[in-house]
């Protein structure tokens, strides 16, 4: 984790507090992989966070430079290596159960805030729980 490496202790503190004080908390996060100059050690730190916290919602993206930004001038990580890292984290994410068996069958009151156009069963919901 390159830019975010200084934030790891803060993330761990935040997660520790919230996980222990809020039952069934749902933490979503994004991971941008192969951001220059991410090292294998940086990548493994990111993998360790996923192993430790088993985020139920994890958006995994491969870094792609946008022209005109400072990051676009950085030396890009090899495409094959970037794909390997993305595949490895995706496999890890798919390897764990994001919800425990005792959650199956729970009933919650929710508010539908948006229904996606053109998709029969896709909507955004909010819950007080």
Q: State the CATH number of the domain containing residue 81.
A: 3.30.750.200
pLDDT digits (tens, 9 = 90+) for 73-114: 999 999 999 999 999 999 999 998 877 777 778 777 777 766
Tell me what percent of the residues of the chain surpass a pLDDT of 90.
29
pTM: predicted TM-score of the whole model, two decimal places: 0.69
pLDDT higher than threshold 60 for residue 122: no
Exposed, middle or buried: residue 115 (CB in 10 Å: 0-12, 13-18, 19+)?
A: exposed
In which element (H, E) is residue 111 found?
strand 110-115
More confident: 16 or 70:
70
What residues make up the domain containing 39? 1-128
In this predicted structure, what is the pLDDT of residue 18? 59
Structural domain total, the chain:
1
In this predicted structure, what is the pLDDT of residue 5? 55
Distance CA 2, CA 57 (A): 21
Percent helix, strand and coil across the chain, each to the nearest 5: 45, 20, 40
């Amino acid at each position: 984790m390159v830019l975010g490496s200084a934030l790891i202790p803060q993330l761990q503190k935040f997660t520790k507090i919230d996980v222990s004080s809020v039952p069934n908390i749902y933490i979503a996060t994004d991971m941008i992989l192969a951001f220059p100059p991410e090292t294998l050690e940086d990548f493994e730190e990111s993998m360790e966070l996923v192993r430790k916290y088993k985020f139920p919602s994890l958006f995994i993206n491969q870094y792609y430079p946008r022209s005109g930004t400072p990051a676009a001038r950085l030396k890009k990580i090899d495409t094959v290596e970037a794909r390997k890292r993305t595949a490895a984290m995706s496999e890890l994410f798919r390897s764990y159960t994001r919800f425990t068996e005792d959650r199956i069958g729970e009933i919650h009151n929710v508010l539908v805030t948006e229904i996606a156009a053109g998709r029969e069963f896709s909507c955004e919901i909010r819950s007080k729980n």
